[in-house]
Structure 1
Amino acid sequence: MKWTIATLFFILPIIYITFYMYEYHKYLCKSNYDYPFQDPTLPIDTRLDNLMSLLTPEEKIDMLWMDGATPDGESPNLAVPRLNIRGYSWMGQGYVYRSASNGCNINCFSSVIDGNVSVLPQGTGIASTWNKNLIFQSGIMVSDESMAIHYNYKNRSVDYKTGASSVINIARDPRWGRVPETYGECPILTGEIAVAFNKGIMGYAQLEDTQLEYGIYKVTPIMRHFIDYDGPDNGRFSFNAIISDADLRTTYLPVWKKLIDEKAIVGIMSGISAVNGIPSAANKYLLNDVLRNEWNFTGYVISDCDPVGDIQRSFHYTATLEQAVAISVASGNDINCGPEFKLLHEAIAHGFVNLDIINSAISRGLRSRFLSGNFDPIGSDPYSSIPYSVVDSLEHKLLTKQVASESIVLLQNPKEILPFDITKIKQIAVIGPSSDDISVQAHTYHGTPSKWITTLDGIQSMALKYNVSVVHTWGASRRNTSDEDFTHALALSDESDIILFVGGLDESFEEEDTDRNTLELPGGQFELIRLIMELNKPFAILIISGSPISEPFIVSENQAALLWISYFGQSGDAIAEMLFGLTVPSGCLPFTIPMDTSQILPIDDYSMNKSPGRTYRYLDYNKAPPLFPFGFGLSYSKFTFYSKLIIFPNKINNLDIDITANISIINEGPFRAQFVVQLYYEFPNSTVIELPIRELLQFTKITLENNEQTTISFTFRVRNIPNSNRQQTPGIITFWIGNSRDRYAQATLVIDFDS
């Protein structure tokens, strides 16, 4: 019996190899390809199995890291010349979420390597549009320009088939330096915007589609950062976030699951800090147990470009760097942005990790390369025909301007100061440090357009058409309290018919490695605003920042119009057109604006429900009433809900019944305008303190002509309401139309299983 088993173990591999070589020979006899993995007509699993069988262990390891690049932006260690495998970069572009990465990186404004590109607003500006279809079109724009550069720009500097995409971390604390890059504080809004942008990037023909238009990825987006990276940013490489499982499941994880469920994600960047004592790039629970085992994520995970080494250096989670790279890849961090995974050769030799782990990691990465067409014949990419003429084109300039326009949030407008009444204006005073400064348009991680149009540029061009003069001075500094230009600024203001102050923050106040400790305007800005207000002239204030600025005095005085816009990209003319009434504000806040920092927990406290609560979802409005609530935004036009909110049916005994919420709205004018209809819900009798008090459920952005009316319908099931399985059922759910605080119409749904 022992001889028979031994014989089988000896003979079976020979039979398998003989059969494989026979089939391989048959394939070569009828194929134009040297290897099956090169044949795009074969199933990806077949191609992947073939390639895995051909690669040596050393080659597999060297494909798991990226450090440096050839002149065309591809990592040389990802090429295998003996198999005619060309170079690749797991994360070619540094900031595909704003523009094609034309060579500029963080905080550079004029460096142009791969030509000019179209530049979108920063993340919170994208989110404040609340317009999923517009953001989907923006994703298409960026991917079109990426592919046009990739295939047409000689000696390009990066690989444009992949790129770091949106920061979808939840902006739980307004002081965090990377809030500007996020889509705000709401998991629902963040998820909808992220899905829309990614689908445009990846190659979906329509937002509603569930399959890629041509079956391959147009651009592969890498979503950031899984999952705890939400501040503090200063010290992030050694910070340990203590997060309850309830908060993980209700706040930090849902966006990522939505992207996976919607097939709108390929790569995931692991986080920087630690979660509950475990460095993010080595967190097996999150990267393997949740992502792979619970959610069936089939894409790859890549580290950020520093944290793998910090597993050992900063967190002291392992004794050696070889152990750090071993535990990282074994925990589900497949790829290393950086060179540390070179040490996997030694890690295997020392027994810290085995080849099965390496095979799992590289197979996930290689699958994405197949899905991006990287192993297909040169010239077969359906996106290679996109002409270079689309890059920085007039059509794209108009699109970036529309995104900037729809991102502007009107917070107050006493006496209808806005839009400017050109029949009563001969001179406009444009005051402020951000009025003629491209740094507040670019912020961090941005491309370089052929022209930056500042706010002042846009106003001057617009005023020229109406024979209105414009005077300008910087007025106050963002960085110091100097009053050296106050007298000049006040004199220009006093001699003008209307005053516009343009101020706020710039990247030196909020970016990577830089958090804020206040929500106030820095430098001498507030003092100059206060002095201008004493002139009692028509006055508008535009705040440019990526996160909340809170000056309650400006609001309480109710003398000046107040607008907010994020770092808005290339198109300052969008602001000018809105000021002059050619367009109408339609943006809504993607975050809460607190009164001051006394309403916010310490930045290193990750609890969501600890009093007074974080974000609109947990905030106790009685204890910490906000200056402006999440979802707030005014219009020049008057919108009225002229019917009740109708929930049908309004009583159910089955959680899987389709529910509709209907409401009628009219634009009473005087402008054609857009409006964001927001549907919220709450479980008023809830006793589960770990769950949100209230939450956005659905939203839509509509356009209505003057005096036009329409009925809006939302459809949902109670079963699909977040965390409904932990709420009071039977019980009641209250729904309302409005924003997170203000309710324009309200209705109740009764759940009674005995009815």
Structure 2
Amino acid sequence: MAIASLSPTVLFLLLLSVASGDAIAPFACDPKDSTTATLPFCKVSRPISDRVNDLIGRLTLQEKVKLLISGAAAVPRLGIKGYEWWSEALHGVSDVGPGTRFGGAFPGATSFPQVITTAASFNATLWEAIGRVVSDEARAMYNGGTAGLTYWSPNVNIFRDPRWGRGQETPGEDPVLAGTYAAFYVRGLQGSDGDRLKVAASCKHFTAYDLDNWNGVDRFHFNAKVSKQDIEDTFDVPFKMCVQDGNVASVMCSYNEVNGVPTCADRNLLRNTVRGQWKLDGYIVSDCDSVGVFYNTQHYTATPEQAAADAIKAGLDLDCGFFLAQHSEDAVKKGLLKEIDINNALVNTLRVQMRLGMFDGEPSAQPYGKLGPKDVCSPSNQELALEAARQGIVLLKNRGPSLPLSHLHHRTIAVIGPNSDATVSMIGNYAGVACGYTSPLKGIGNYAKTIHQIGCSDVACRDDMLFGAAIDAARRADATILVMGLDQSIEAEFRDRKGLHLPGHQQELVSKVAKASRGPTILVLMSGGPIDVSFAKNDPRIAAILWAGYPGQAGGAAIADVLYGTTNPGGKLPMTWYPQEYVSNLAMTNMAMRSSPRRNYPGRTYRFYKGPVVYPFGHGLSYTNFVHTIVGAPKVVVVPLDGHRHSRNVTVLGKAIKVNHARCNKLSVGLQVNVKNTGSKDGTHTMLVFSTPPAGHWAPHKQLVAFAKVHVPAGSEQRVPISIHVCKFLSVVDTLGVRRIPIGVHHLHIDNVKHPVSLQAETLGVIKS
């Protein structure tokens, strides 16, 4: 129902109810409504599939097409209210989508660190815990009438190019890291109550979407030319894991074309892959106005009716926007689409709504019906946001060591920089209204007396007019903290970066302050993407460098805790930090992952790029030292072949077995790793396990195959079990996009410790594909 159609009195009462956070009436199947209470689709005891089919059978075609869009219309004669599908929960309940609003009993929600920062923790249990808190708050706001239950999060695209403005929203450049994040965050959001959903998550943007606006090319006009190898090996991995391991309720298709076909019109991607091969139990939604984009902007179809038909027949169930409501009925009348195609789309959306309990009557009587204002911004939720920020901070450099700072010797701190008193900018994009903010200045002020100078009026730092006061502050302090970096004016949705250096005169400010500082100079960086800070890495006057990403509402407290050693940093970079030269002649539009020396193409991400870096993927220091010892690991693992694939049916090419020819179910490599803390401080260690496959042109240089987080007190040792699924994580993809298990020696790496594992086929058949 359009707002414009409501009378002023009704609109006022509606807004008053929303602002107060009062419990909402049932979305449908109100037990007090005698006309619908006895209808089969309202019977909770019946199977959901029966209820969905009954409801669809009662709808007219005109009613059906109005349910194909994000602002789904009400069906008053069946007691069904209108529903706004678009809400966001990237790192906390957000009001970016129209389905959620803050005010009244819900003035804000817990704002966790931006995803790129949380990913740096490499802590899957943390990601799930954040998802649980976010869904608690989302349900509470839904019960109060201020939010929906369908959240178009997380963003699990690969952070392929360091200039991408939306890289901050992603878990980084590694597909296994991104896929693991997707699965655990989605589990936290959706809950574990069988077929019932706490909220419905959506993994986006499918697929090969990682350019917003670069050098005259925008996401609405971009045709991503991607090899089958890179699709299977990189871009689709997080989405597959999201669907199969996370059981996500939705996947969102993207704006761009892939090899000439808009993703929201690509039957192979949507119907055949997401729903067919991966078995999505849920709905597929377009990015907002994607169907209109492929008709109006990409000119993929001649008529709007053909665009609507192509999208629905490809497997699209829901349109963020209005296009399908405007053109689907005419597509049916013109014979381009059948009504059963629309029915099939509604089966997927209505099933999700029923799994959410939206057709179960009174929300207050449902499993999550008691959640309310007290469950939003609770002390425990805000403490988790602080802990997430602490775990995501990465110590890049610590000369001396100079950190942690001393409570005795560093009592007066010069706090300098355009991000030094940051609040809203700490939470990045797709954020809501935070419960409150602790800026770096405030956080450091809890430990020491501060002298504050911003040095630059904003992160653009267009001049040096404020340098003098900043330099003078550094001369007077026991230590200097420079809080520099980026914000949404530099990197954001529809805003890709032009280069990797600090903006404007920031580098000059850092160097001059470091030269003048009486005590140690610490550089703290806020950013989503990597920054070329080679100058600071190589400057002995800059004692330490921290990367905080966008650390969320409690970011300043977390930064201060790390600076003063209350927290021992354990974060690792989830993306490579390249020098500026890497992107100087590298087009963002080139999607190839693998390097090509013949074409002077460097390759992308740590898996395929071998050139110089500022800091590598996985880099991160601690205030203590950890030593690894592999105490239990097989040297040979036999890959059993499918019983129907023995002898001449076995496919072996270049000594690599097709994954679908192996019995993969319980095929894994188990490691027992001792982690010893040889330093003087307790610490939480982030252990990354990489594999280097046998030599071959298909394989990455190395790839992440497992990771674990373990707390080890000073002087003690912990044993960590690691299980590596052979078919998922030790496989590689050939040039035809076929995933295979290389036969031969795979070298497992944990820092400088290596262990060889020989994979051997149970039977080698015909050397022929």
TM-score normalized by the length of structure 2: 0.85
The alpha carbon displacement at 1:518 in A equals: 0.6
CA RMSD of aligned residues (A): 2.3
Distance, in Å, in 2 between the alignment partners of 1:507 and 1:110 is 22
Determine which of 27, 33, 51 is the counterpart of 2:55.
Answer: 51
Deviations 1:367-389 (A, max 9, x none): 11111111112233210112321
Report the counterpart of residue 337 of structure 1 in structure 2. Answer: 320
**Is 1:132 matched up with 2:140?**
no
Q: Which residue of 1 aligns with 2:688?
A: 678
Q: Does 1:201 pair with 2:189?
A: yes
Would the aligned equivalents of 1:138 and 1:197 in 2 still touch at CA under 8 Å?
Answer: yes
What is the CA-CA distance between 1:146 and the residue it aligns to?
1.0
- Partner residue of 2:5? none
In structure 2, the residue matched to 1:750 is: 758
* Alignment of structure 1 residues 36-435 onto 2, 5 Å: 36-67=40-71, 75=72, 77=73, 79-91=74-86, 93=87, 95-101=88-94, 103=95, 114-152=106-144, 156=146, 158-159=147-148, 161-204=149-192, 212=193, 215-234=195-214, 235-342=218-325, 343-379=327-363, 380-435=365-420
Q: Is 2:607 aligned against 1:648?
A: no
- The question of 1:633 aligning with 2:611 is answered no
Between the aligned partners of 1:61 and 1:722, the Cα distance in structure 2 is: 46
Corresponding residue for residue 527 of structure 2: 545
CA distance in 2, matches of 1:717, 1:478: 44
Cα distance in structure 2, aligned partners of 1:242 and 1:493: 51
Q: Given that residues 91 and 112 in structure 2 are in contact (C-alpha distance below 8 angstroms), is that contact kept between their aligned partners in structure 1?
A: yes
Q: Deviations over 1:294-330 (max 9, x none)?
A: 2222311111112211111111111122221221111
CA shift, 1:526, in A, is: 0.3
Structure 1 stretches of 5 or more lacking a match? 1-30, 68-74, 205-211, 464-468, 739-743
Task: Decide whether aligned partners of structure 1 residues 105 and 121 sit closer, same or farther in structure 2, where only a CA change above 3 A counts.
Answer: farther
* SS of residue matched to 1:662: strand
Aligned position for 1:666: 676
- The 3-state SS of whatever aligns with 1:142 is helix
Q: Is the 8 A contact 2:212 2:493 kept in 1?
A: no
- The aligned residue for residue 38 of structure 2 is 34
Return the offset for 1:186. 0.6
Alignment match of 2:701 (pick from 671, 677, 693): 693
User: Structure 1 length as normaliser, TM-score?
Assistant: 0.87
Q: Take 1:753 and 1:506, find their aligned partners in 2: how far apart are those partners?
A: 51
- Aligned match of 1:720: 728
- CA contact under 8 A between 1:440 and 1:568: conserved in structure 2? no
Structure 1 Cα separation of the partners of residues 558 and 340 of structure 2: 54
How big is the shift at 1:533?
2.4
**In 1, Cα distance between equivalents of 2:174 and 2:621:** 20
Are the aligned partners of 2:283 and 2:352 in contact in 1 as well (CA < 8 Å)? Answer: yes
| Separation in structure 2 between the aligned mates of residue 32 and residue 602 of structure 1, nearest angstrom | 58
Distance 1:728 1:191, change over 3 A: closer
Q: 2:523·2:545 contact (CA, 8 Å) conserved in 1?
A: yes
Is contact 2:186–2:246 with CA below 8 Å preserved after alignment? no
- How far apart are 1:558 and its partner, in Å? 4.0
How far the C-alpha of 1:599 sits from its partner, in A, is 5.4
Does 2:463 align with 1:482?
A: yes
Segments of structure 2 that go 5 or more residues without pairing to the other structure are: 1-34, 596-600, 641-661, 734-738, 764-769
CA distance in 1, matches of 2:197, 2:133: 15
CA distance in 2, matches of 1:577, 1:696: 30
Q: Give the deviation of 1:189 after TM superposition.
A: 0.7
Aligned residue type for 1:733: H
Q: Is the 8 A contact 1:109 1:442 kept in 2?
A: no
Q: Deviations over 1:554-587 (max 9, x none)?
A: 1122442001011111102111111111111111
| Alignment length (residue pairs) | 685
- 3-state SS in 2 of match to 1:424: coil
Alignment of 1:419-458 (within 5 A): 419-458=404-443
Q: Is the 8 A contact 1:518 1:597 kept in 2?
A: no
Q: Is the 8 A contact 2:203 2:242 kept in 1?
A: no
Q: Check the 8 A contact 2:668/2:723 in 1, yes or no.
A: yes
Conservation of the 8 A alpha-carbon contact between 2:690 and 2:703: yes
User: Residue 71 of structure 1 aligns with which residue?
Assistant: none
8 Å CA contact 1:325–1:341 kept in 2: the answer is yes
Displacement of 1:752 in angstroms is: 3.7
Q: CA separation in 1, counterparts of 2:294 and 2:36?
A: 47
User: 1-side partners of 2:466 and 2:243: how far apart?
Assistant: 53
Q: Which string of whole-angstrom CA distances, capped at 9 and with x for unpartnered residues, describes residues 496-555 of structure 1?
A: 110000010000111111001111000211001111222363110000001101121111
1:231 maps to a residue whose letter is L
* Shift in alpha-carbon separation, 1:375–1:110, aligned structure 2, 3 A: closer
Cα distance, 1:494 vs. partner? Answer: 0.9
Q: Are residues 724 and 317 of structure 1, via their aligned partners in 2, closer, same or farther at CA, if it must alter by over 3 Å?
A: closer
Alignment partner, residue 590 of structure 2: 605
In structure 2, which of residues 470, 476, 482 is the aligned counterpart of residue 495 of structure 1?
Answer: 476
Q: Hey, what does 1:507 align to over in structure 2? A: 488
- Give yes or no for contact 2:693–2:730 (8 Å, CA) kept in 1: no
Counterpart of 1:26 in structure 2 is none
How many Å separate the matches in 1 of 2:103 and 2:499? 32
8 Å CA contact retained: 2:424, 2:437 = no
Deviations 1:220-275 (CA, angstroms, capped at 9, x unpaired): 11221111211143511111110111110000111111121124311111101111
Which residue identity is paired with 1:391? Answer: V
State the SS of the aligned residue for 1:422. coil
Percent identity between the aligned chains?
A: 31
In the aligned structure 1, how far is the partner of 2:697 from the partner of 2:168?
34
Q: Distance in 1 between matches of 2:603 and 2:276?
A: 32
Output the CA distance in 1 between the equivalents of 2:131 and 2:385: 11
- Cα deviation, 1:594-627, whole Å, max 9, x if unaligned, reads 122435731000000033210111112xxx1211
Deviation at 1:428, TM superposition (A): 0.6
